[in-house]
């Protein structure tokens, strides 16, 4: 399929007119027709004629950018003008936004073709894309398994060739978890690297906007096109955006990769451990030095995260009053109501200091512990998930069990660091396993270069699900 190729390869074919954007869009819609019923990757698919019209405009445009004519999809957490946006929740089932998110505007201005809005855990509340009012997203590698969350629909859509890339959102692992469970590559950026304007907020000090695609090379192209300061997001960084896609050849020799010993704890399943060990061997063969390091407070990361995230979400979700937009609050799912209640409780007079404030202090401890590692390491390597993709329903009965699945992802959001999730192998049952490379703030270029080097040496990311 054309959509098996990298974005750069597609752009070369488009520029020389060997293929047309129309053909790419047609291919995307064929994949959707064939597989979306089984996968539930999309909540809203644009009318094909509208996408084709955009494709023709891209084909006839005199100026082309790197993403011109490339089909993409957006997690349904990003508002799109005049196109329904639900955040995965019945509360916004009929919501038609009057404006578009910055990331959407930048991609459309670059000529990329929007295919539709992806299914997700409502409001970002989940790690499996089962907490959705639109049917759980199924894993393209095994329909009885979850696709990961909360950006599960985006991961499934990329894996199933329904688009060349997607924009997901990562607050506690919501890009990295589904990327690893669906065998795609996903980037959680440094907090502030990419504008959150128009991203429906879950937890404002943790939310990040990021790309998902089949390779680090693809992510670098997308990131370069959308990153950078936005006056409409006061937390967006004014730091320079680099041409990440031109910095992927940096050799790995001498790179110091830390492996936190707490990341190899007993919670890790044997199969995931084997994949991480294999990744360590690959990086060693590429010339990196592996160093054992420690994050002593790692076991507190999940409670710290959930206290802060639920408190922030209880505040952010106040705006859904069913008056100016949306349906009534009785339409929230049980899990969302639980998070709002827990967050409200943690902020209540009497409990505020011992719960919420304490968590924000614990966050400082974690930040210090990660900061201390950069004198001896250039980046860190570890698993994304403690286990292979879960069976549907395995985690939904026990919220604490679900939260514990985030043990390796949430510390990265608490500290604001970037992290790249890479396909790293398969279980005996052919279920995808991923690893993550965690970097210094605003050092996406080192992560993407290290990811590209890994993907030149391995073939995991090229494997396709048998749909």
Partner 1 sequence: MRSITPEEVQEVARLAGLHVPPEKLAGFAKGITAIVAYMEEIKKLPVETVPETARLTEESNVWREDTVTESLSQKEVFQNGTHAEGYFVVPAVLKHK
Where along the sequence are the contacts to partner 1 (CB under 8 A)?
94-96, 98-99, 191-192, 205, 231, 234-238, 297, 299-300, 303-304, 306-307, 314, 318, 321, 323-326, 329-330, 332, 334, 337-338, 340-342, 344-346, 348, 354-355, 357-365, 367, 399-400, 403, 415-416
SS3 state of residue 324: coil
Measure the CA–CA gap between 184 and 172, rounded to whole angstroms.
18
Nearer CB in complex with partner 1: 284/299? 299
Nearer CB in complex with partner 1: 269/297? 297
Question: 185 pairs with which residues across the strands?
Answer: 213
Strand duo 142-146 + 165-170: pairing: unpaired
Nearer CB in complex with partner 1: 250/338? 338
DSSP assignment of 381-394 equals EEESSSSSPPBTTT
Q: Report the nearest approach of partner 1 to the CB of residue 453 (Å).
A: 29
Q: Report the nearest approach of partner 1 to the CB of residue 401 (Å).
A: 10
The values of phi and psi at residue 198, to 5°, are: 90, 0
Measure the CA–CA gap between 317 and 153, rounded to whole angstroms.
22
Q: Is there a contact between 442 and 418 (Cβ–Cβ < 8 Å)?
A: yes
Q: Is there a contact between 163 and 28 (Cβ–Cβ < 8 Å)?
A: yes
Q: Where are the beta strands (DSSP E) in 195-272?
A: 208-213, 256-260
Q: How far is CA 19 from CA 86, 203, 424, in A?
A: 34, 42, 32
Measure the CA–CA gap between 214 and 218, rounded to whole angstroms.
7
Nearer CB in complex with partner 1: 343/465? 343
Nearer CB in complex with partner 1: 139/415? 415
Q: Where are the beta strands (DSSP E) in 252-374?
A: 256-260, 289-293
Q: Report the nearest approach of partner 1 to the CB of residue 268 (Å).
A: 20
DSSP assignment of 127-155 equals SSS-S-TT-PPEETTEEEEE--SSSHHHH
Using alpha carbons, select from 182, 12, 37, 11 the residue that is nearest to residue 113: 11
Q: Report the nearest approach of partner 1 to the CB of residue 247 (Å).
A: 22
Measure the CA–CA gap between 443 and 250, rounded to whole angstroms.
13
My answer on whether omega of the bond before 120 falls inside 30° of 0, hence cis, is no
Q: Report the nearest approach of partner 1 to the CB of residue 187 (Å).
A: 17
Instruction: Find all residues with CB under 8 Å of 368, minimum gap 6, and list them.
Output: none
Using alpha carbons, select from 460, 425, 148 the residue that is nearest to residue 269: 425
Measure the CA–CA gap between 276 and 271, rounded to whole angstroms.
9
Nearer CB in complex with partner 1: 238/459? 238
The values of phi and psi at residue 396, to 5°, are: -75, -20
Nearer CB in complex with partner 1: 218/443? 443
Q: Report the nearest approach of partner 1 to the CB of residue 261 (Å).
A: 19
Q: Report the nearest approach of partner 1 to the CB of residue 215 (Å).
A: 28
Nearer CB in complex with partner 1: 164/209? 209
Using alpha carbons, select from 367, 366, 387 the residue that is nearest to residue 429: 387
Catalytic positions, please? 75, 150, 174
Q: Report the nearest approach of partner 1 to the CB of residue 405 (Å).
A: 13
Helix (H) or strand (E) holding 166: strand 165-170
Measure the CA–CA gap between 318 and 223, rounded to whole angstroms.
32
């Amino acid at each position: 399929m054309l959509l098996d190729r990298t974005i750069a390869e597609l752009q070369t074919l488009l520029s020389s007119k060997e293929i047309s954007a129309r053909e790419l869009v047609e291919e995307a819609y064929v994949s959707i027709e064939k597989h979306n019923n089984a996968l539930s990757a999309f909540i809203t698919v644009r009318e094909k004629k509208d996408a084709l019209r955009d494709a023709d405009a891209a084909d006839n445009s005199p100026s082309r950018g790197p993403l011109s004519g490339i089909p993409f999809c957006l997690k349904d957490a990003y508002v799109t003008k005049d196109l329904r946006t639900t955040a995965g929740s019945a509360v916004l089932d009929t919501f038609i936004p009057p404006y578009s998110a910055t990331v959407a505007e930048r991609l459309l201005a670059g000529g990329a073709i929007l295919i539709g809005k992806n299914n997700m855990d409502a409001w970002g509340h989940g790690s499996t894309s089962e907490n959705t009012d639109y049917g759980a997203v199924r894993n393209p590698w095994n329909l009885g398994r979850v696709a990961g969350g909360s950006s599960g629909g985006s991961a499934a859509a990329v894996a199933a060739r329904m688009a060349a890339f997607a924009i997901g959102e990562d607050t506690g692992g919501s890009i990295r978890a589904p990327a690893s469970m669906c065998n795609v590559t996903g980037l959680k950026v440094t907090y502030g690297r990419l504008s959150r304007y128009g991203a429906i907020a879950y937890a404002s000090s943790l939310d990040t906007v990021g790309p998902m695609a089949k390779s680090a090379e693809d992510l670098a192209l997308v990131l370069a096109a959308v990153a950078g300061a936005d006056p409409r997001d006061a937390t967006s960084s004014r730091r320079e955006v680099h041409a990440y896609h031109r910095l992927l050849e940096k050799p790995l020799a001498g790179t110091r990769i830390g492996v936190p010993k707490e990341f190899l704890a007993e919670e890790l399943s044997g199969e995931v451990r084997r994949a991480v060990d294999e990744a360590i061997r690959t990086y060693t063969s590429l010339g990196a030095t592996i160093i054992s390091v420690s994050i002593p407070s790692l076991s507190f990361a999940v409670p710290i995260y959930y206290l802060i995230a639920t408190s922030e979400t209880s505040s952010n979700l106040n705006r859904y009053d069913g008056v100016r937009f949306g349906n009534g609050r009785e339409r929230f799912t049980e899990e969302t109501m639980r998070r709002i209640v827990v967050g409200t409780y943690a902020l209540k007079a009497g409990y505020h200091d011992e719960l919420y404030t304490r968590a924000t202090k614990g966050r400082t401890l974690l930040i210090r512990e990660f900061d201390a590692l950069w004198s001896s390491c250039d980046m860190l390597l570890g698993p994304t998930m403690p286990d292979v993709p879960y069976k549907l329903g395995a985690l939904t009965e026990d919220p604490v069990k679900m939260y514990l699945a985030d043990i390796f992802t949430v510390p990265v959001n608490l500290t604001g660091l970037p992290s790249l999730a890479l396909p790293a192998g398969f279980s005996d049952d052919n279920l995808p396993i991923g690893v993550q490379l965690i970097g210094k703030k605003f050092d996406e270029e080192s992560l993407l270069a290290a990811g590209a080097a890994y993907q030149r040496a391995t073939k995991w990311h090229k494997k396709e699900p048998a749909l």
